[in-house]
């Protein structure tokens, strides 16, 4: 049987498994937002959004939508018990002051030294979008990245050096892809988990950065989770 890469929601599920009780977490746009759906409800995990919402809950059901209760991605959300609001100045004091335990971000590229590129693909006809990414990447205590292991064209995204404009230097601590879970250490990238049926050489073939494998490297598994646009 050929190896089964994780889908986007399964990657989010895997990252959510590493969130521990009491954490203050910021979730970036795209794949990271889905992490919230897989945090175990019995845990007190507070999700901070850059627009000043602390304790973002699930998306609001249609009969509870309030246009003033939104997250930084303009989603109409609910607030969990214990949640609160602050203005942008306090919100970024929280981010820049090192109060966020983990920022979970999307990325275009990650380098073996932890450099991150996630804000500008240099697309024609599109303006730049920095938002809070540089603040989060530079100042959160940990930065986890969720990404597809390779581009749609099959090119590696875990590189020796980023080629796209940088978001921050030496900031990424862990990478979750559809193929593997990789720590970024002082000695480079260390594979902690890898999907079944993939060899170390298979993973190296899809990765430009040098890879070390943890002695206790485990199988990366996730429950079946259908993407919303896929037939069940």
Partner 1 sequence: MSIDKRVNTAADAIADVRDGAVVLISGFGGAGFPNELIRALRDRAPKDMTLVVNSATHRYSLTHELLEAGLVRKMICTTARGRGKEPTAFERLWMAGKIELECIPQGTFTERIRAGGAGIPAFYTPVGLGTEIAQGKEMRRIKDRDYILEYALSGDLALIRADTADHYGNLSFRYAQMNFGPVMATAATLVVAEVRAVLDEPIPHDRVGLSGVYVDRVVEASK
Give the binding site for partner 1 (CB under 8 A): 49-53, 66-74, 76, 79, 85-89, 91-92, 95-96, 115, 125-135, 138-139, 165-169
- Least distance between partner 1 and beta carbon 165 (Å): 6
- Least distance between partner 1 and beta carbon 172 (Å): 13
Provide the greatest CA pair distance for the chain: 53
- Least distance between partner 1 and beta carbon 212 (Å): 25
| 173: nearest Cα among 203, 213, 137 | 137
Q: Which is nearer to partner 1, 95 or 110 (CB)?
A: 95
CB 122 within 8 A of CB 165: yes
CB 216 within 8 A of CB 205: no
Q: Tokens at residue 100, please?
A: 């966020």
208 flagged as catalytic: no
- Least distance between partner 1 and beta carbon 166 (Å): 5
Catalytic residue among 50, 193, 208, 230: 50
Strands 142-146 and 174-176: parallel
- What DSSP string describes 212-229? EEEEEEEE--------TT
Q: Which is nearer to partner 1, 27 or 195 (CB)?
A: 27
Q: Which helix (H) or strand (E) holds 91?
A: helix 88-96
Catalytic residues: 50
């Amino acid at each position: 049987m050929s190896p089964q890469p994780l889908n986007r929601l399964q990657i989010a599920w895997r990252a959510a498994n590493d969130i521990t009780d009491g954490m203050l977490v910021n979730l970036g746009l795209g794949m990271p937002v889905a992490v919230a759906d897989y945090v175990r409800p019995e845990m007190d995990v507070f999700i901070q959004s850059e627009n000043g919402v602390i304790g973002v809950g699930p998306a609001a059901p249609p009969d509870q939508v309030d246009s003033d209760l939104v997250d930084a991605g303009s989603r109409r959300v609910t607030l969990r018990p214990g949640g609160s609001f602050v203005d942008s100045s306090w919100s970024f004091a929280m981010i820049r002051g090192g109060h966020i335990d983990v920022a979970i971000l999307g990325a275009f590229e990650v380098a073996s030294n932890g450099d991150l590129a996630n804000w500008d693909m240099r697309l024609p006809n599109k303006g730049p979008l920095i938002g809070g990414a540089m603040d989060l990447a530079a100042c959160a205590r940990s930065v986890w990245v969720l990404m597809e292991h390779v581009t749609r064209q099959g090119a590696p995204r875990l590189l020796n050096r980023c080629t796209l404009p940088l978001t921050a230097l030496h900031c990424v601590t862990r990478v979750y892809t559809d193929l593997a879970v990789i720590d970024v250490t002082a000695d480079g990238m260390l594979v902690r988990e890898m999907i079944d049926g993939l060899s170390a050489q298979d993973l190296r073939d899809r990765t430009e950065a040098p890879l070390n494998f943890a002695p206790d490297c485990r199988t990366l598994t996730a429950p079946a989770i259908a993407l919303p646009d896929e037939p069940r």
